[in-house]
Structure 1
Amino acid sequence: MESEKYKQGMNVRREVLGDEYVDRAIDAATDFNKPLQDLVTENCWGEIWANDALPKQTRSLITIATLAALKAPTELKAHVRGALRNGCSAQEIQAVLLQATVYCGVPAGIEAFRAAKEAIEEWQKG
């Protein structure tokens, strides 16, 4: 039985990342990692992203900076696409990544720019 937070989280997750991405993640879930998908949907998306204290554009940019710091290129690509879906511009993403590079280190920035460039180019191709 899905909680209300889970349902709300799934709606926000789909809004930000797109149905195709979310369906792929959910469909690929196994008995081993399904609890992780449930946790992410209910807590990350249903608790944090569904909170309207910050606009989704701001949340996207914060998430991109955090993922750059963590050197998490796969998740960063997904959230760059999400930021673009949320109305962030490539220039805003670039500015956040430059800021993150200064504070997180050049290797982290290089990795983040590489991942973001790929996601932005895919987005622009449609």
Structure 2
Amino acid sequence: MKTRRQRGEEIRREVMSDPFVDRALNNSNDFDAPLQELVMETAWGTVWDRDDLPRATRSLVTIAMLAAMKCSNELKGHVRGALRNGCSVEEIRGVLLHAVPYIGAPASLEAFRSAREVIEEFEKAQQADAE
């Protein structure tokens, strides 16, 4: 049986990609490695492992929360994860538009800029793969 930490890494890799997780783990040091372990075990190995919401829904909820907190870097990662989880660009845009009256224009503008950057990269990669 897998530990929560092992299950967390597995889920994090499925959602965020191997390069993303490798970069996060390889860039950690003695100071922040405990944080990486905590996030892997609790966020990914406990919360994301629950079966009460589909992963796509979790991705959209996470995007809304990160937009509200103005966490652009984390938002970009989770927009990529949402696309990997099967969320459409329209769903991501819909969540960000729905957030506007609740989180305000400055946070929404920042979230849209971050999401747009990732979506454009994703679409460019898809187009290159199709050629």
TM category (shorter chain) comes to over 0.9
Aligned equivalents of 1:55 and 1:34: distance in 2?
29
Q: How big is the shift at 1:65?
A: 0.1
Aligned equivalents of 1:80 and 1:16: distance in 2?
10
Alignment-mate amino acid for residue 55 of structure 2: K
Is residue 69 from structure 1 mapped to residue 57 from structure 2 by the alignment? no
Compute the RMSD of aligned alpha carbons: 0.8
Structure 2 unaligned residues grouped into runs of 5+: 126-131
Q: How big is the shift at 1:7?
A: 0.3
* 2:18 aligned partner: 19
Aligned equivalents of 1:125 and 1:42: distance in 2?
33
Q: How big is the shift at 1:102?
A: 1.6
Alignment-mate amino acid for residue 9 of structure 1: G
Alignment-mate amino acid for residue 21 of structure 2: V
**SS at 1:54's partner residue?**
coil
Alignment-mate amino acid for residue 120 of structure 1: I
> Which stretch shifts more, 5-14 or 99-108?
99-108
Identity of aligned residues (%): 56
Task: Return the TM-score normalized by structure 2.
Answer: 0.93
Q: How big is the shift at 1:77?
A: 0.2
Task: Return the TM-score normalized by structure 1.
Answer: 0.97
Aligned equivalents of 1:37 and 1:65: distance in 2?
22
Runs of 4+ in 1 over 6 A off after TM superposition: none
Q: How big is the shift at 1:69?
A: 0.2
Is residue 57 from structure 1 mapped to residue 56 from structure 2 by the alignment? yes
Q: How big is the shift at 1:89?
A: 0.3
Q: How big is the shift at 1:124?
A: 1.1
Cα deviation 1:80-113 (Å, max 9, x = unaligned) = 0000000000000000000111211010100000
Alignment-mate amino acid for residue 34 of structure 2: P
